[in-house]
Amino acid sequence: MSATGSGTITVLFVWVLLIAASAFAGATDAAQWEQLVSEGNDARAAGRTADAEKLYAQALEAAGTFAPDDARRAKALNNMASLRLDQGRLAEAEPLYRQALEIWRKRAGREDANLSAGLNNLAELYRLQGRYQEAERNYEAAMTLRAALIETSDGAAKLSHQLSQATMQNNLGELYRAEGRREDALRVYQRALETRRALHGSDSVPVAAVLNNMAAAQQDLGNLDMARTLLEESLAIRRAKLGPGHRAVAGSLNNLGTVCRLQGRFAEADDLLRQAILIWEAQLGPEHPYLGAAVNNLGESLRAQGRHAEAEPLLRRAIAIYEKAFGPDHPELGGIVFNLAALFEVLDKRPGAETLYKRALRIQELAHGPSSPLLGGTLEAMGRNYALQRKYSAAEGALQRAVDLFERAAPANDAAVARCLSGLADVYVLQKRKDRAEPLYKRSLRLLEGAGGSASDAFQKGLAHYSFAMGLKQP
């Protein structure tokens, strides 16, 4: 999952790699263990989480009778950890992954494929926890191991390693998205898509997952029509291959609903999001983070429509789900807190909005550092909220910091810089300091003109606002 600056949560599809059972001939207990692992993997793939948990628990118990460094122990630990990840029980997953990796490292050379898979899985856990640097290190280590295996293998083994490498490329793309590295994300998604199309076919479930993720990156870049096209293709594949009630279908519904909302197609958006909620509640229960994503997005859609009384309980529920799953400081929680703050501001609950904006900013600073342009949107909202409370010094500081951060990513953020400059000028006008305001308005207008020309709607609105604020007659 990933939260955009506006607090929309897109569900991305990344893979933890399950480890299949391997034959240990001649032992009844080994055969039983293999059957438990195989049936558990099948249950997890089918979305039968309760059945998978029971089977994996039995496999893990059986593995306890094997030698401490037996590879089967590592496989049982890895698969149970992956199920915990599905369930959003991240704190329980980490020690299981670490125990599995410890065994595989002791068996270096013989277990490099499994070690690569385990590193990928731990990286995904770190990504979900917002531990991005640790995640990237583990993804890179996993891909380096896998690349060596591709070079030294052929036939079916080579094909298997290529598929695993494509999985890791997709997962790395989601990490880049979480860090705001959108072009890097598209680059690695494209590599994963090409590999999967070549190996699986264009209408396969793995291809649908990468299409879903590429759509999210296009959405981040503002390419909503392209995002919609990719999501519709992904949804059609998933419905055909998995059935209409599968949790992956819900992911496509959630994301397509989000794009529809951004396009102003609210009735369609709300219907898609409600479908996603129904599927995830049935498949994953009432406290899973995926459900929290759709609940947040529906709340944000209702807020955008002015249906505030309906939006607030949904946003509060989404926050509660995320806090329980991830703790109070997870990066994706910042977007939902921002949404509730924006709702409070509309309802004239400005002190409450201020508290929530501060919390959202603190979460973002922990995730991205204090100098990331990703903080700019929250600082801009904080500045405007301060101004409405007549806290002009605080407003000036927040808006100036937003300008400075957005300028780090110029010219991509020129529109945001222009908006913040105009907001900062407004603060000076409110303090009767028009001498400070005028150059900021003019600088904002130059940016808008450079981006869209003097006939653009944005420039004309900016010019009208400048003229009104300064008491001028519009030319």
Averaged over 140-161, what is the pLDDT?
A: 92
pLDDT at 247 over 80: yes
Average pLDDT, the chain: 89
What residues contact residue 336 under an 8 Å CB cut-off, 6+ apart? 3, 7, 9, 292, 296, 315, 318, 319, 322
Closest to 330 in 3D by CA, of 381, 366, 283, 382: 366
Helix axes 414-430, 457-470, angle to 10 degrees: 10
Q: What 3-state class would DSSP assign to 369? A: coil
- Say yes or no to pLDDT of 147 above 80: yes
pLDDT tens-digit profile of 154-190? 998 998 899 889 889 989 998 998 887 888 999 999 9
**Residues present in the chain in total:** 475
Q: What is the DSSP letter of 185?
A: H
Please report the beta strands in 183-304, taking only residues with DSSP state E, as ranges in sequence order: none
| 3-class secondary-structure state, position 127 | helix
Q: Which residue has the higher pLDDT, 174 or 316?
A: 316
Domains of the chain, CATH where assigned: 1-182 (1.25.40.10)
Residues whose CB falls within 8 Å of the CB of residue 118, separated by 6 or more in sequence, listed in order: 17, 74, 78, 97, 100, 101, 104
pLDDT tens-digit map of 397-442 = 999 999 999 998 777 678 899 999 999 999 999 999 999 999 999 9
C-alpha of 142 from chain center: 21
Question: 379 and 399 in contact (C-beta within 8 Å)?
Answer: yes
**pLDDT (mean) for 192-205:** 92
State yes or no: pLDDT of 38 exceeds 50.
Answer: yes
pLDDT average, residue stretch 50-75: 89
Burial class (CB in 10 A: 0-12, 13-18, 19+), 320: middle
CA 142 to CA 113: how far, in whole Å?
9
* pLDDT higher than threshold 70 for residue 24: no
Residue type, 389: Q
Has residue 5 got a pLDDT over 50?
Answer: no
Is residue 377 very low, low, confident or very high in pLDDT (cuts 50, 70, 90)? very high
Q: What is the DSSP letter of 375?
A: G
